[in-house]
Amino acid sequence: MNTPLDQVLAKVASQKTALPELYGDIDFDVTPERFTTDPRASVAPRLARAKLDPDKIALIKAYTMLGDVVADAYAALMPRYGFRPLVAMLTKACDEGVAAVPDAPPELAAFIADMERVPEWLDMDLVREGQRLDRNAAANLGPFAIRGAFIATFMNKYAALPMALTGTLSNDTAARRVNETATFFTSTLLPGSLERHGAGFRAAAMVRLMHSMVRFNALKRSNRWDVGVYGIPIPQVDQMPAGLIPIFLMSYKIVGEGRKTFTAEERARVELARYRCFLLGLPEDLLADTPQGVVDTMNARSATLRAGFDDATCGELVRATLSAYLPPDERPENRLFDQVERGFSKVFFLRNFMNGDVAAARRMGVEIGPRDFMLFGLVALLVTSQLTAYRLARRVPGLSEIADARLVGRLKRQLKRYGHAEFTSDAEKYRPTTGAKPAAAA
């Protein structure tokens, strides 16, 4: 789907009139500092120097100023209801329908209706196949890689500030955010989870509300947010990496091989990722369905993001996440897992997001030593053998069903280990600077 640019710009501008209490004083014609077309200032100068589609660049610029119209409207009810009642109503509406919520506000009905909308391109059979395919990596690699992938979201100060404002600079809060992220992606892979009343559908709604709560609190309850510098908190373009990084890496490899289309299995994984992102509120314009389209969209976002690493924001987030203890308790086996997983995650981060540059990682606060490389090698050997075994089992009739049932069981045990995910953003935990606006009771 390619929405004409003037319609996208109109949607961006409509936030001002649709939700004046949140966006009424924002100039949507401004180009925030975070957006740049100068290769020397870009986080990806090589991409910025390349010949990128100017229409794609204009689209990325527009979506840099777009929040989530329906979820933002619901989150803006916080001063009236408080954030916990909003979460409770949304949970009930996901599980039982809006009609089951007494005196449900119209904003809740609009929110759920937007998630219930079925896009024209959606093939749920492909989504289910994508879930089956992704369960292997989630069960075998996920527990070891999640911290490293989470750290990667803190590499740029313009994208990382919302997380810093939510109080994620403490070890305990960082651990909760990592486990919540793992819970979301894991829950969306269980059988039936992305159906209307599934656990993944509900988790997507909770994450979407959390993002909108962050926008509300950053704009209205903290004086650290400058729209002229950062744009809109958690704009749509910043949600692409978390939802599409695996698909981007796969597409990048496919394009490098000279292929123009996905195989059947690749297509199923793409359909899963696209629908999961759709449930999170991403515009369909950002959900490309060809290898080149995925690469071009992600490259346009990277090429136009201004480089910037602020140690007080990015560095503290990295250090807090690395120091966080993720297991549910301190039994000996969990302490051992923590040490192994921590070492693996650091090297995983280095290889996948820092191009192997140890010195650059060290400047970000990620110290990587020989022991970490040794742990990475041992875990990689174990994980690779498990991934291969389950991949081969998929091709054997009868054994395929048994193997998938084992993976589902492992994912359910992992969810218990991650703990209950709240997916909330409490204004009392924000980090205002001197002279900040007083927070209204939530």
Q: Which two tokens stand for residue 328?
A: 């549910």
Q: Tell me how crowded residue 399 is: count the other CB atoms within 10 A of its CB.
A: 12
Map residue 45 onto helix, strand or coil: helix
Q: Are 414 and 135 in contact (CB under 8 A)?
A: no
Is residue 333 domain-resident?
A: yes
Is residue 71 domain-resident?
A: no
Give the separation between CA 299 and CA 309, rounded to whole angstroms: 20
- pLDDT (tens digit per residue) in 411-431: 999 999 998 765 554 444 434
Is residue 361 domain-resident?
A: yes
Which residues lie closer than 8 Å to 134 by C-beta, 6 or more apart? 189, 269, 272
- pLDDT (tens digit per residue) in 103-113: 999 999 999 99
Is residue 395 domain-resident?
A: yes
The amino acid at residue 425 is S
Is residue 133 domain-resident?
A: yes
Is residue 109 domain-resident?
A: no
Is residue 231 domain-resident?
A: yes
Range of the domain at 276: 45-66+116-189+217-421
Q: Are 356 and 213 in contact (CB under 8 A)?
A: no
The amino acid at residue 378 is L
User: What is the DSSP track for 105-135?
Assistant: -HHHHHHHHHHH---TT--HHHHHHHHHHHH
Query: Structural domain tally of the chain?
Result: 1
**Parts of the chain with a pLDDT under 70:** 1, 166-171, 421-442
CA-based max dimension of the chain: 66
Write down the pLDDT at residue 323.
Answer: 87
Is residue 5 domain-resident?
A: no
